[in-house]
A and B are shown apart, each in its own frame.
Chain A
């Protein structure tokens, strides 16, 4: 029942984060409410954000997006909250809820649109960017983003051929609770990015993230440990992280190869995926680069 307590706490924290107090300052006739963080990043990258009037709570990149009003968490929306933004279009990726809210929006004849919602490969990623580019009349910018993405991915894959090792990388997403870690598994988007960067995630499982014991982290004995920003910032220093049960004694702790990463860079593919893979590559192959 971990989430039963986590989510109310998260809601209270978000109340104090100030995003709910953001005022609508949009003057145009087109009003878009976008409920998918992945699309929102692309919309900003395309420079098509001028008609964006509100987003969901999980959309946190780029930082400028935090100035927009939010209509709540994308899986706990309310129809009235969305309609109150007077949207001429609601954009979502089918990962929204509750179910009845979408039915209410349909009943109210609020125009809704979904773009590519299964983005697990670079080709699908580029497809999504181009689709959004076409919709917003920004084909040139979309092509440019795709070219940069291709170039960075080619560079990362070419770099990969030069490395002689395949570091084992454990990504701990959410700090710890009673020596239980929420770790990224081999089935995740982050695992794909690590693989493109020339590493491997040694944590199995059916979900993208899974609670694992300290023993499993110790057994995995990773060469590199990446902590997402929330857990890293909460623990405060690498010294404290190295003392954690399971982490202490791993090759990563012994070699000081524990790094902080931004959570949103690893959870979906987008226009910066190539750059993020190159950053990952520098981190996980830091030993060979030295």
Chain B
């Protein structure tokens, strides 16, 4: 990003991220004072064992949630950036190529089949089922659109297959909701609304590794995506292996979004709104969009999580409701503008 006109963006985003993280660490159903956070960190560092309740809440529940939220927000936003660049279409988000609907189907299948067959395979079964569903749906989209055009993955075909496969998996989830017993149906519904309340250290470690690696690969693809935005033939002439690039971006996207969705449920609009906001701010260079998208996604999802925890406290709103409520007006505003900044 050297000599980039977007350099001034990053100090702002970093400052906002730090503020969001601090607020998120302190605010919630339980307000945790900064002194308690420092106390908890100190005891952790010096192997202390006499933790107060608030210190334990911070270390066991709040901190993993805050960190998980950062990686989840980054993943959702970077996923949006990658897909919008790949499809050369500003209205695309990861949900459109089957990832979210596949994950929702996998989770619903677990809720219904697990309870019907008294099938218990530990806490990892739900994320695994959601992840498998997301991968199945996305690779179905890829496989079906590849065979249509003599092995080439055409963008339009990919998009249409995404719509078809999405419909298939949404119908599957609908069917499972219909045959589910009341508690199962409600579990499916709440999972579809998204929540970060289940974050723990295991999920943080897994998500951190996956999202960091995927974002690193996404950065490596960003310059080639810039060339792809000029057109496939132009990109090919510039030495970009278009087919390989498309496959790489899709694989990065599906792995990243599937892992995050598996732990959170469906969270909409972050992947759609963040790239738009950033394009309006400083343009459509994908190298800038990937890096700034990761930071902005983390900030926005953290802000949404704070709202989800505070609006009805001590109860909690599903975060998917907050992101949709905030995202829809922003999205309509962006659509109403004549210029799409793409």
Contact = CB atoms under 8 A, between A and B. Distances in A.
- Are A and B associated in one complex? yes
Interface of A: 1-4, 6-8, 11, 15, 20, 54, 57, 69-73, 75-76, 78-86, 95, 97-101, 103-104, 107-108, 207-209, 211
A57 to B, nearest CB: 7
Contact of A4 (B56, B181, B189, B317): B189
Given A79-B61, A81-B314, A207-B181, A101 B198 contact: yes
Contacts of B178: 211
A3 B62 contact: no
Nearest to B324: A8
Contact of B197 (A7, A8, A11, A98): A98
Interface band, chain B: 35 or more
Nearest to B175: A1
Contact of A7 (B193, B198, B313): B193
B315 to A, nearest CB: 3
Interface in B4-33: 28-30
A101 B309 CA distance: 15
Nearest to A7: B189
A57 B174 CA distance: 26
B197 A20 contact: no
Contact of B183 (A6, A54, A95, A209): A95
B230 interface: no
Interface string B30-54: 1000000000000000000000010
B60 A207 contact: no
A76 B190 contact: yes
27 contacts: A1-B173, A3-B186, A3-B188, A7-B193, A8-B318, A8-B321, A15-B311, A20-B313, A20-B315, A57-B315, A76-B190, A78-B29, A80-B28, A80-B57, A80-B61, A80-B316, A81-B315, A84-B30, A84-B314, A98-B190, A98-B198, A104-B200, A108-B60, A207-B181, A207-B182, A208-B181, A209-B182
Given A71-B314, A98-B195, A108-B57, A84 B29 contact: yes
A97 B187 contact: yes
Contacts of A207: 181-182
B28 to A, nearest CB: 5
A261 B177 CA distance: 27
B314 A75 contact: no
B187 A3 contact: no
A-B complex: 5 closest residue pairs judged by Cβ atoms: A72-B315, A100-B198, A81-B314, A78-B316, A84-B29
A120 B287 CA distance: 62
A107 B198 CA distance: 13
A80 B197 CA distance: 9
Contacts of B174: 1
Interface of B: 28-30, 53, 56-57, 60-62, 123, 126, 170, 173-174, 177-178, 181-183, 185-190, 192-193, 195, 197-198, 200, 309, 311-318, 321
A80 B29 contact: yes
Given A72-B315, A84-B313, 14 more contacts: A4-B189, A4-B193, A79-B197, A80-B314, A82-B314, A83-B30, A97-B183, A98-B190, A98-B195, A98-B197, A99-B126, A100-B123, A104-B60, A108-B60
Contacts of A81: 29, 313-316
A72 B198 contact: no
A76 B318 contact: yes
A35 B182 CA distance: 17
Contacts of A2: 177
B193 A8 contact: yes
Residue of B170, B174, B188, B312 with most partner-chain A CB within 10 A? B312
Interface centre among A72, A76, A207, A211 (most CB of B within 10 A): A76
B61 A108 contact: yes
A57 B313 CA distance: 13
A3 B60 contact: no
B164 to A, nearest CB: 18
A1 B312 CA distance: 25
Contacts of B61: 79-80, 83, 104, 108
Contacts of A75: 183, 186-187, 190
A104 B316 CA distance: 15
A6 B182 CA distance: 13
Contacts of B53: 83, 86, 108
A274 B195 CA distance: 41
A4 B105 CA distance: 14
B37 to A, nearest CB: 15
A11 B195 CA distance: 14
A95 B314 CA distance: 20
Contacts of B193: 4, 7-8
Contacts of A71: 314-315
Contacts of B30: 80, 83-84
Given A98-B197, A207-B182, A83 B57 contact: yes
Contacts of B170: 1
Nearest to B321: A8
Contacts of A107: 60
B4 to A, nearest CB: 41
Looking at B62, B126, B185, B188, the one whose CB has the most chain A CB atoms below 10 A away is B185
Contacts of B314: 54, 69, 71-72, 78, 80-82, 84-85
A15 B190 contact: no
Chain B CB count within 10 A is highest, among A1, A15, A70, for A1
Contacts of B198: 98, 100-101
